């Protein structure tokens, strides 16, 4: 049997980066618990458009927990109350009937608000760009077995490759540190033979860019690990710090 619930959505409404924002309450009744939170927002937007009002702006793409587009605070928690789950995969059956959900955008100066729940995460793109390319070999396509990768190596690299770049780790960190995001991106390629050529330089360049962008330092509070929808371990931050130390030893 499909269950139905009622929710009050308290949503941060802000016209633009320069305007003032405020919370507005929207009462939604008779919602199927098979809806995801984003689908509930779709329903709300439909109602707002019918009434001639501006719909709530929120980011989304895959709605399968893999693209990292969605992401905002639900009752103060990045991606909401369910562990290892993105906003788009949060279903109403996991929520209490007649509860109030406060939805607000990531709150960090490195992600300026664009409108409502949408923030500008281009600082993460610039971080990736600062790492450069991993390979400069422009020869023919290499044989599949040219680089031997053990199963353990592949598994470990894959764990860090699961980072979807949603920004939850940064938004949850009291220092707005991008250490977990950057560590995951460095460790993903740095563990594989193909990444060895530029491994240490990449680690150093991306670390430098973190501070240029205004991200804070890591103080080991581990809120990043707790909020990561892909459960990436904060141990990778130590791994990254070792890489940067190694760079300084080898190149200075
Ligand atoms: S919309 Fe792609 S991860 Fe949520």
**84 CA distance to ligand 1 middle (Å):** 13
For the four alpha carbons of 89, 95, 98 and 100, in that order, the dihedral sign comes to negative
**pLDDT, position 147:** 83
| pLDDT over 90 (residue 245) | yes
Dump strand ranges (E) for 86-216.
Answer: 99-104, 113-115, 118-119
Residue 163 near ligand 1, beta carbon < 6 Å: no
Q: Distance from the CA of 38 to the center of ligand 1, in angstroms?
A: 10
With beta carbons less than 8 A apart as the criterion, state whether 114 and 106 touch.
no
**What's the 64 CA to ligand 1 centre distance in angstroms?**
6
Q: What is the mean pLDDT of residues 37-47?
A: 98
R_g of the chain computed on alpha carbons:
21
pLDDT exceeds 90 at position 144:
no
Whether ligand 1 lies within 6 angstroms of the CB of 110 is answered as: no
What pLDDT score does 168 carry? 98
Residues 246 and 240: their CA atoms lie apart, in Å, by 10
pLDDT number for residue 32: 97
Q: Does domain 4-104 have CATH number 3.40.50.2300?
A: no
Whether residue 141 is predicted with pLDDT greater than 90 in this model: the reply is: no
| Contact 60 CB / ligand 1 (< 6 Å) | yes
Question: What pLDDT digit, counting tens, does each position of 193-213 carry?
Answer: 888 888 999 999 999 999 999
Which of 44, 30, 37, 23 shows the shortest CA–CA distance to 97? 30
Helix (H) or strand (E) holding 8: strand 4-13
Report the percent of the chain where pLDDT is more than 90.
Answer: 89
Residue to substitute in 72, 86, 163 for testing ligand 1 pocket (most ligand atoms within 8 angstroms of CB): 86
Span from the CA of 165 to the centroid of ligand 1 (angstroms): 10
For the chain, the average pLDDT equals 95
pTM above 0.75, yes or no: yes
- The per-residue pLDDT for range 72-120, each reduced to its tens digit, is 999 999 999 999 999 999 999 999 999 999 999 999 999 999 999 999 9
Residue 121 has pLDDT above 60, yes or no: yes
In this predicted structure, what is the pLDDT of residue 176? 97
Does 121-251 carry CATH code 3.40.50.720? no
What's the pLDDT at 106?
A: 98
pLDDT for residue 2: 66
Ranges of CATH 3.10.20.30 domains, the chain: 4-104
Q: Is 13's pLDDT higher than 60?
A: yes
- Mean pLDDT for 134-159 is 82
**Ligand 1 neighbourhood includes 63 CB (under 6 angstroms):** yes
Q: What is the largest CA-CA distance in the chain?
A: 67
Residues of the chain within CATH 1.10.1060.10 domain(s) are 121-251
Tokens found for residue 27: 């009462």
According to DSSP, the β-strands at 118-119 and 22-32 are unpaired
Instruction: Report pLDDT for 136.
Output: 57
- pLDDT(42) > 60: yes
H or E element at residue 45: helix 37-50
How far away, in angstroms, is 52 Cα from ligand 1 center? 28
Contact 61 CB / ligand 1 (< 6 Å): yes
Q: Say how far apart CA 69 and CA 89 lie, in whole Å.
A: 12
Query: 137: closest CA among 128, 127, 147?
Result: 147
Cite the beta strand spans of 70-227 per DSSP E.
Answer: 73-74, 77-78, 99-104, 113-115, 118-119
Q: What angle do CA 153, 156, 157 make, to 5 degrees?
A: 85
pLDDT of amino acid 225: 98
Choose the weakest-confidence range: 64-68, 170-174, 196-200, 225-229: 196-200
pLDDT of residue 1: 62
Would the CB of 85 count as within 6 Å of ligand 1?
Answer: no
- At residue 130, does pLDDT exceed 90? yes
Q: Is the CB of 65 under 6 A from ligand 1?
A: yes
């Amino acid at each position: 049997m499909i269950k139905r619930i009622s929710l009050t959505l308290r949503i941060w409404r802000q016209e633009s980066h320069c305007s003032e924002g405020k919370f507005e309450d929207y009462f939604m009744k008779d919602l199927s618990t098979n809806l995801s939170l984003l689908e509930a927002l779709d329903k709300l937007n439909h109602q707002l458009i019918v009434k001639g009002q501006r719909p709530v702006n929120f980011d989304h793409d895959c709605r399968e927990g893999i693209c990292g587009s969605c992401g905002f605070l639900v009752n103060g928690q990045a991606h909401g109350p369910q562990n290892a789950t993105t906003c788009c995969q949060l279903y109403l059956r996991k929520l209490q009937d007649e509860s109030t959900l406060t939805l607000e955008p990531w709150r960090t100066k490195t992600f300026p608000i664009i409108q409502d729940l949408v923030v500008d995460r281009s600082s993460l793109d610039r971080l990736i760009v600062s790492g450069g390319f991993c390979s400069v070999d422009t020869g023919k396509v290499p044989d599949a077995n040219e680089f031997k990768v053990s199963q353990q190596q592949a598994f470990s690299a894959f764990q860090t490759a699961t980072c979807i770049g949603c920004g939850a780790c940064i938004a949850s960190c009291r220092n707005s540190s991008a250490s977990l995001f950057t560590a995951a991106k460095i460790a993903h390629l740095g563990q594989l033979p193909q990444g060895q050529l530029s491994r240490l330089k990449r680690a150093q360049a991306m670390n430098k860019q973190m501070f240029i962008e205004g991200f804070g330092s890591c103080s080991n509070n581990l809120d990043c690990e707790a909020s990561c929808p892909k459960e990436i371990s904060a141990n990778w931050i130590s791994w990254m710090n070792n890489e940067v130390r190694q760079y300084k030893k080898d190149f200075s």
